[in-house]
Structure 1
Amino acid sequence: MWLFLVFVGVPILEIALFIKVGGAIGLIPTLAIVILTAVAGTALMRLQGMQALARLQESLERGGDPVGPIAHGALILVAGILLLTPGFFTDTLGLLLLVPPVRTRLIAWGASRLTVRVATFGREGGPRRPARGDTIEGEYEILDDVPPERRGNSGWTRDPG
């Protein structure tokens, strides 16, 4: 039901706002405001999107949790979509999503309402990397001493000539 309200209510609200604002300031200034918010919002979205990508890369390089930068990046994308949609209500929501403290509060609110369940499959403990000092035994064969007819053509052996 809420999806129906969004698809019907938002366009009705946008039309009402266009009529009110257009009646107060005129047609040309109203259209100019809508176009300027789309252009400014796109520029802000690009700038903040690049910053969010840089924060994500930095977090991954440090081995940190990438959830925060990913959530901020997703909300910046939603802000861009809202800013490109013509209308005063969607522009206002889009501009609000470009304000980092608003995004942070929205992410915290969403996280408080989210339930995470973890399921693991496979053997207990999962794969284990050898610790320092562990000995890994294996067998090898020196291919330079093997005659060329026994080498095969896998592409992983050197050409004898």
Structure 2
Amino acid sequence: MRVLLLLFIVIPLVEIWLMIEIGREIGAPSTIGLILLTAVIGVLLIRLQGLTTLIRAQSRMASGELPAMEMAEGLVLALCGVCLLIPGFATDLIGFIGLIPPVRRYLLAPWLRGMQIRRGPGPGGPTGPSSGRTLEGDYRREDDPER
């Protein structure tokens, strides 16, 4: 919680400082134009990479694989989109770094490796039709008022 509070204070201060410094060098209209340009380019790149990631995820699901990397990449792309839409240069830098696929996969790989994927009961799960096991047994309800 304290980290989030710190981020909500530090990030705007860094952005304001960068805008002032860049505006001093290239002028206010150019700074505003550059901020708008990075937002437009960022949105276009997010859209393109988002569609590519979605297509990869659909093809993995069609082949029966879990699209874990694609799902994680989609989350990172959404966060990068937010960073690119926030006016400023520091968040744009973070957003553009997240748009580089090899960097994105490199950063996600340790996190995904640490996750253990479990399949629950149901079709294809440990007791589903594809498991080859048949469970037999009797049951009775403990809360049955007729007994």
Same fold (TM over 0.5): yes
Distance 2:34 2:60 in 1: 38
User: What amino acid is the match of 1:38?
Assistant: A
Deviation at 1:23, TM superposition (A): 0.8
**Aligned counterpart, 1:66:** 67
User: What amino acid is the match of 1:55?
Assistant: R
Deviation at 1:130, TM superposition (A): 9.2
Segments of 5+ residues of structure 2 without an aligned counterpart are 133-147
- TM-score for both structures, normalised by structure 2: 0.78
Identical counterparts, % of pairs: 35
Change (3 A) 1:118 1:48: closer
Distance 2:36 2:17 in 1: 18
Deviation at 1:76, TM superposition (A): 1.0
User: What amino acid is the match of 2:64?
Assistant: G
Query: Within the alignment, does 1:81 sit opposite 2:104 as a pair?
Result: no
**Aligned counterpart, 1:26:** 27
Deviation at 1:119, TM superposition (A): 9.1
User: What amino acid is the match of 1:66?
Assistant: P
Distance 1:115 1:24 in 2: 47
Distance 1:65 1:117 in 2: 9
How many residues matched? Answer: 128
**Aligned counterpart, 2:15:** 14
Distance 2:4 2:21 in 1: 26
Report SS of the residue matched to 2:61.
Answer: helix
Change (3 A) 1:115 1:76: closer
Deviation at 1:102, TM superposition (A): 1.2
Query: Within the alignment, does 1:106 sit opposite 2:107 as a pair?
Result: yes
Task: Map 1:1-161 to 2 at 5 A.
Answer: 1-111=2-112, 114=114, 116=116, 126-128=127-129
Distance 2:57 2:131 in 1: 29
Deviation at 1:116, TM superposition (A): 4.2
- TM-score for both structures, normalised by structure 1: 0.72
**Aligned counterpart, 1:152:** none
Over the aligned positions, Cα root-mean-square deviation in angstroms equals: 2.3
Change (3 A) 1:61 1:85: same
Equivalent pair of 2:54/2:70 in contact (CA under 8 Å)? yes
Segments of 5+ residues of structure 1 without an aligned counterpart are 132-161
**Aligned counterpart, 1:135:** none
Deviation at 1:91, TM superposition (A): 0.4
User: Any runs of at least 4 consecutive aligned residues in structure 1 with deviations exceeding 6 A, and if so which?
Assistant: none
Equivalent pair of 2:97/2:103 in contact (CA under 8 Å)? yes
Distance 2:21 2:66 in 1: 46
